Amino acid sequence: MRTRIIPLLASAGVTATLFAASAGTAHASTTALVGCGSAGKVTAKMCRLYKAASSASSKGKYHWDSVGCKHSDPLPYHPQGRACDLVYGKIGKSATGDNRADGAKMVKWLVKYHGKYSIDHVIWQGIIYSPNGNWHGHADKNCKKGSGVTVCHRDHVHVAVKP
Residue placing its CB nearer to Zn ion in the complex, 85 or 102 = 85
Instruction: Find the residue with minimal CB distance to Zn ion.
Output: 158
Q: Which residues on neighbouring strands pair with residue 51, listed in sequence order?
A: none
Which residue's CB is nearer to Zn ion, number 17 or number 132?
A: 132
Note the residues at the interface with Zn ion (CB under 5 A): 85, 158
Q: How far is the CB of 22 from Zn ion (least distance, A)?
A: 32
Spacing of C-alpha 32 from chain mean position: 12
Q: Nearest distance from residue 157's CB to Zn ion, in Å?
A: 9
- What is the crossing angle of helices 44-56 and 97-112, to 10°? 130
Closest CA to 156 of 126, 117, 114: 126
User: Which residue, 70 or 158, has its beta carbon nearer to Zn ion?
Assistant: 158
CB of 15 to Zn ion, least distance (A): 42
Q: Is 84 within 8 Å of 124 (Cβ atoms)?
A: no
* Apex 141 CA angle, 136 and 146, nearest 5: 120
User: Which DSSP string corresponds to 17-66?
Assistant: HHHHHHHHHHHHSTT-EEE-GGG-EEEHHHHHHHHHHHHHS-TTSSB--T
Q: How far is the CB of 83 from Zn ion (least distance, A)?
A: 5
